[in-house]
Amino acid sequence: MGTIRAIFISGGGSGIGRAVAQKFAAEGWFVGLGDISEDGMAGTRALLDPARCFSVQLDVRDRGQWDDALAAFAEVAGGIDVLFNNAGIPIGGALVDCTPEEIERTLDINLKGVIFGAQAAYPWLRARAPGSCLLNTASAAGIYGVPGGSVYSATKFGVRSITESLDGEWAADGIAVRDLMPGFIETPLLDIAPNRKSNDAIRNRVHQAGLEITPVSAVAEAAWAAVHGQRLHTLVGKTAHSAQFAARFLPGLMRKRNRASGRPLG
């Protein structure tokens, strides 16, 4: 294994991806960025050492682009120690208010993109094992579904399942598989509407529901801990910890609250 370790981050142009890029770069890692947004990646690159940074435009829905992006990064970095499968988009609101196009795009990016990323990364991670890691961004929405979160929760339950499945499937290869399960994180995604029929930003609904917004730096620290630790699922923020506790010990109460509220968070 080389002296400089390397991480490739999908969705590295903003939010969690950018914060994780900064954290790993500060720890001396070579950082690769993949994102659909060239402008976003330029913003992240400006915060990093250009000598230890690489970026490539990547649509995670395209399996071929994954192969090309990882091969290009590995050639520059000398290999890949960690793939951070992070790219994702939000969707919320009543299911009947979500268009087929919105639903398909969310499923394709949040779920298919993670599967394609894992599949493409496998040979690179196996070559660096033991000590390599696949890290996925799941969510507190993958703990217990809530009104207004049916499609998004479905994708994040899926990411959680992928993590658990590959944890077993890749154990013999020495590849660690982990995920992050954050609540609401301070990123630009909070300032967009949950679906086309809504003109109210997600941030406003979060505040109205009395939920906390966790600093994005907390996710970056959690990502570092997840890659270097043994925990399969890493919870981030009060919302995630509360949901985990309630789902495990008070499922009846959680269901009652869901049914009583009925109002979609999105």
| CATH code at position 220 | 3.40.50.720
* Cα separation of the two ends of the chain: 45
Cα–Cα distance, 142 to 118 (Å, whole number) = 19
Interacting residues of 143 by C-beta distance below 8 A, sequence separation 6+: 181, 240, 243, 244, 247
Query: Phi and psi dihedrals of 167, rounded to 5?
Result: -60, -40
Residue 206 lies in a domain: yes
Helical ranges in 78-183 per DSSP H:
100-107, 113-128, 150-169
Mean pLDDT computed over 90-102: 89
Which tens digits make up the pLDDT trace of 2-47? 479 999 999 999 999 999 999 999 999 999 999 999 999 999 999 9
Distance of CA 199 to the CA centre of its chain: 25
Pick the catalytic residue from 29, 66, 116, 152.
Answer: 152
If residue 60 lies in a helix (H) or strand (E), which one and from where to where?
none
Residue 13 belongs to what domain range?
A: 6-261
Residue 102 lies in a domain: yes
Average pLDDT value over all residues in the chain: 88
Which tens digits make up the pLDDT trace of 143-186? 988 888 899 999 999 999 999 999 999 999 999 999 999 986 65
* 152 catalytic residue (yes or no): yes
Residue 266 lies in a domain: no
CA angle (52, 53, 56) in 5-degree steps: 150
Q: Which residue has the higher pLDDT, 100 or 250?
A: 100
Residue 1 lies in a domain: no
> For the chain, what is the domain count?
1
Banded model confidence at residue 266, pLDDT cuts 50, 70, 90: very low
Cα–Cα distance, 80 to 1 (Å, whole number) = 10
pTM of the model: 0.87
Lowest mean pLDDT among 172-186, 230-244, 247-261: 247-261
